[in-house]
């Protein structure tokens, strides 16, 4: 019987609001990248600039994961089972930055 229903998927018309939101997200991502680009050449290199770069990158990551990958639309347990394990990375950052700084002291 299955082949009878073949090619009978009903096409739902476009929802302009949804498509507009996708392009808006794209615009936000591109504007943030442009801002990063401008900052790279106008601000003095230093901790403040690095902090800004990382903050803007995390904002971009949030938009990609929530708007493009629709993680925000998944049920809460799935959402947290992806987000919460990232806590382990905080430790890795602290540990390896300390390690790198110690090697620097040993070497120079």
Using DSSP, state whether 10 is helix, strand or coil.
Answer: coil
Alpha-carbon distance of 83 to 87, in angstroms, equals 8
Nearest distance from C-beta of residue 51 to another protein, angstroms: 10
Quick one: tokens of 78? Answer: 């799935």
Considering only residues 51 through 90, tell me which ones interact with another protein, judged by CB under 8 A.
53-54, 56-57, 60-61, 64-65, 67-69, 74-75, 77-78, 81-82, 85-86, 88-89
In whole angstroms, the minimum distance from the beta carbon of 53 to another protein comes to 5
Tell which one of 22, 35, 48, 72 touches another protein (CB under 8 A): 22
Q: Does 24 bind another protein (CB under 8 A)?
A: no
Are 71 and 79 spatial neighbours (Cβ–Cβ below 8 Å)?
yes
**Spatial contact of 35 and 56, defined as CB atoms under 8 Å apart:** yes
Q: Which of residues 26-45 bind another protein (CB under 8 A)?
A: 26, 29-30, 33, 36-37, 40-41, 45
CA dihedral 89, 97, 34, 20 (to 10 degrees): 0
Least distance in Å: CB of 72 to another protein? 13
């Amino acid at each position: 019987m299955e082949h009878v229903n073949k090619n009978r998927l009903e096409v739902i018309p476009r929802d302009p609001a949804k498509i507009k939101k996708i392009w808006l997200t794209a615009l936000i991502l591109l504007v943030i990248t442009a801002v990063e680009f401008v900052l790279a050449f106008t601000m003095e290199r230093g901790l403040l600039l690095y902090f800004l770069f990382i903050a803007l990158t995390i904002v971009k990551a949030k938009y990609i994961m929530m708007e493009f990958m629709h993680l925000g639309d998944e049920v809460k347990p799935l959402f947290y089972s992806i987000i919460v394990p990232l806590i382990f990375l905080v430790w890795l950052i602290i540990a390896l930055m300390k390690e790198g700084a110690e090697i620097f002291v040993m070497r120079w």
